[in-house]
Amino acid sequence: MSKTVLGFDFGTKSIGVAVGQEITASAQPLLSLKANDGVPDWQQIATLLQEWQPDLVVVGLPLNMDGSEQEMTQRARKFANRIHGRFGVAVVTQDERLTTTDAKARLFELGGFKALGKSKVDAVSAVLIIESFFENQYDI
């Protein structure tokens, strides 16, 4: 049986969300949630968890290019811990370096500058976080 994974690209104003399937090691963008200084509407998260029933949640971990941590790293970890604490779902973090750059490149290829809306970039970043998690798990 394939596992369902819900991915989050944490940000202080917007949190991208994607869903992935372990069997195909792929993901699709869902939406971006508004956040107020990194705090989402927890009811929206509850609704997503209810709807998708994920076996695992993957939260992107923003690191500096040299792998060192920054303020956003701690905030993303806190967000991951809160999801686990509030909803009891298994949560892991995944290095997300360069996912926003890659997401913008993917969207630009598909639709030029018009495709580069912030909410789309955040959701595609969440896709890339899930896909990199699968790659690390299975050496794809």
The gap from C-alpha 119 to its chain's centroid, in whole angstroms, comes to 12
Q: How confident is the model at residue 110 (pLDDT cuts 50, 70, 90)?
A: low
Q: Which pLDDT value is given to residue 17?
A: 95
Q: Pick from 97, 85, 138, 112: which is nearest to 9 by CA?
A: 97
Q: What is the pTM of this model?
A: 0.84
Q: What are the pLDDT digits (tens) for 19-39?
A: 999 999 999 999 999 999 999
Reading the block at residue 62, the tokens are 């923003």
Distance CA 132, CA 99 (A): 9
